[in-house]
Chains A and B, each alone.
Chain A
Amino acid sequence: SQKIEQNSEALNIQEGKTATLTCNYTNYSPAYLQWYRQDPGRGPVFLLLIRENEKEKRKERLKVTFDTTLKQSLFHITASQPADSATYLCALGNTDKLIFGTGTRLQVFP
């Protein structure tokens, strides 16, 4: 069955550093991959979408890469800030249905 793993449950980094989050998947060939931010008790908020024929996407301090050979996506937040502290979810899709990973809780400390 399809499986999506995000590298760790929690990641702690110092303000100003680059946070790198990993999303690996198996038994699936997604047409696209999305990254979301989720704060406690709130709904997911869309950050970036990358399609299977794209290698990299950037948006302000965010960068996503997508390697369909390795079946992996990396999500980078550069110059991280305490306000970036949240849970980050990767989600894969072929049709309109999204399959979510369990998320990585990022804590940025001053």
Chain B
Amino acid sequence: EPEVTQTPSHQVTQMGQEVILRCVPISNHLYFYWYRQILGQKVEFLVSFYNNEISEKSEIFDDQFSVERPDGSNFTLKIRSTKLEDSAMYFCASIYYDSTDTQYFGPGTRLTVL
């Protein structure tokens, strides 16, 4: 069965450094998402992406964050200058066609900011 993949599984970085989290959505999917989950807390929406542009973003997704689909298969989340509070699991998700379809989540990247 097709699945969403994410790399790396764990990223450790120093505060103030830039990180790029990578996702490969399911190949024929059209909508892409990033969510985060701080340890012990709920899953929070960050951003949705459709037709090569952001369709919606949350208040968490400030100027430090950006997303890109550079080559038609990868979908990346960049954090420009990481803060301690960015430490969380980051999940990528994708949907085939309709915004109410099943969201398929990747296994996540655990980001630790020291």
Closest to B40 in A: A102
User: Is B75 located at the chain interface by the 8 A CB criterion?
Assistant: no
Check if B100 sits within 8 Å of A44, measured CB to CB.
no
In the bound assembly, the distance between CA atoms of A42 and B110 in angstroms comes to 10
Also in contact, A96 and B99, with CB within 8 A (given A89-B43, A101-B42): yes
Instruction: Report if A31 contacts B (CB, 8 A).
Output: yes
A47 → B minimal CB distance (Å): 9
- Cβ of B100: which chain A residues have Cβ within 8 Å of it? 31-32, 49, 51, 93, 96
Q: Which residue of B lies closest to A31 (CB)?
A: B100
Is the C-beta of B65 less than 8 angstroms from some C-beta in chain A? no
A residues near B31, Cβ cutoff 8 Å: 96
Residue in contact with A42 in the complex, picked from B41, B103, B107, CB distance below 8 Å:
B107
Closest residue of B by beta carbon distance from A4: B42
Residues of B within 8 A of A31 (CB): 100
CB atoms of A44 and B45 under 8 A apart: no
Secondary structure type dominating chain A contacts? strand
Please report the C-alpha to C-alpha distance between residue A91 and residue B55 in the assembled complex, in whole angstroms: 19
Task: Determine if A44 and B102 form an interchain contact, defined as CB atoms under 8 angstroms apart.
Answer: no
- Residues of chain A within 8 A (CB-CB) of B95 are 96
Could you tell me which residues of chain B, from 1 to 60, have a CB within 8 Å of some CB in chain A?
4, 31, 33, 35, 41-45, 48, 50, 55-56, 58
Bitwise, A45-56 to B at CB < 8 A (1) or not (0) is: 110010100000
Name A residues whose Cβ lies closer than 8 Å to a Cβ of B: 31-32, 34, 36, 38, 41-46, 49, 51, 89, 91, 93, 95-103
- 8 nearest A-B pairs in the assembled complex, by CB-CB distance: A96-B99, A43-B105, A100-B43, A46-B102, A102-B42, A97-B45, A100-B42, A44-B105
Mark B residues whose CB is within 8 Å of A.
4, 31, 33, 35, 41-45, 48, 50, 55-56, 58, 89, 91, 93, 95, 99-100, 102-108, 110
20 contacts between A and B (CB under 8 A): A34-B102, A41-B110, A42-B108, A43-B91, A43-B108, A44-B43, A46-B102, A46-B104, A51-B100, A89-B42, A95-B55, A96-B33, A96-B55, A96-B99, A96-B100, A98-B35, A98-B43, A100-B42, A100-B44, A102-B42
